[in-house]
Structure 1
């Protein structure tokens, strides 16, 4: 749960259903815990082709299962070199370009086997990428949006900059995104409105600006929304009231308006599952 910070207004709301019963991710802090936010693995195999080759689009309809797995390998290798991989605190597997992605630090592949064009078992696709607190620099790679099997993306507490790529709107399997604690900027791309499976969106402690988008109300499975300490302005959109599963919202440290006389946004009373709402009046310090 969000913590109280000076003039921050912290509003605990009744817990309707226990987190454990829902199987929902923990609310915050240390409780973010193992399954979603912990770090990684490593190990040996053979080296690969040039990491600096241009990365193709994985969404090409004629890619075989084997080609798609090869594409993900090349895309991650490209990410390693473009995001300062030699300085990462955890880069086991990445540094040697090991062919088996399950042996790369922070990478988990799907457990369900796939059959390739040859009838043999095909390489597995990446399902989670956990590189939080790992000294990543540079821009968020466009290619990440092409990982159609990616369910969890955790790149929190790095030095990534620039906007969220529009390609992220193609993450058709994604359930959890944590980009908090970087220096990301710009507005949130409208393409993210199509992330219909998203349950947990954490973008706190960045430099995002503009309005909080109305399309957040279309993310019907959303349970956690952390937007605190950015540069958002205007109102929290009324569409957020449609999020029946929402249990945590943090927006402190932005320049938002349209609160009632108690300092509480008008839509809060409509959110039956909401347990925590954390806000602060006035601009980001």
Structure 2
């Protein structure tokens, strides 16, 4: 492939950061993610209301955190209440079910190379759902390798700690093992995200196996650029999410604070949507795709 189109890391980052600012996509993320949230939260909300709603201390607990109350409530919810865990499992399953649709909307927008309307995003999410689902299943291969590597490094670190004579050396070995485990997780996630980005870079791509292979080869051929793009976009997104979580934690759920807390959480969903979109668009900009492969299809033109 002599006529490949490659972008630098900075150009890919700029493309992803700006391309991720799509208000229609963010709004659809908010609406769709409300479904798994409701599945998990509404039964829990009802149980908490039965436990705490009639207490004379309810107003004080809504304003200030009470450790004793939290411990008693946790014990009441987890002791002889199997349905509590079932609702959380149901919420996770619904989240896993809608995740390929959310990713499919991002891929559809990237393939069209423009901001799509609501109809185009929904159509794209439905069209790409099967491929994103298959790729999500195949993603367990790099994740399994990461788990095996992390387990091996943890076992190696434990052996070194047992034979170490100095506490400082044992602590250093533990920190090194933790750092390598985090690095392996970043590499595994970079491979999976690069595989998803291949569907944006190559409109004619249909196979999840081929996409995963290309994602792996992208990390091999351009490891620094791939990891830098992934780390920067993820780091910015996580920093924003940390600030939003702190803001939500300092917002009391009394009066107008309930609505404010809900809106703050939805702002976090918008940040997640931007982070996922920016990451995929930036990684697709790093993909080496020939001009013959980067062609428009009937689906792309229909959007």
| TM category, shorter | under 0.3
Q: Which structure has more RCO (C-alpha within 8 Å, separation ≥ 6)?
A: 2
Structure 1 or 2: larger helix share? 2
Provide the TM-score with structure 1 as the length reference.
0.22
Structure 1 or 2: larger strand share? 1
Q: Which has the larger radius of gyration?
A: 2
Provide the TM-score with structure 2 as the length reference.
0.21
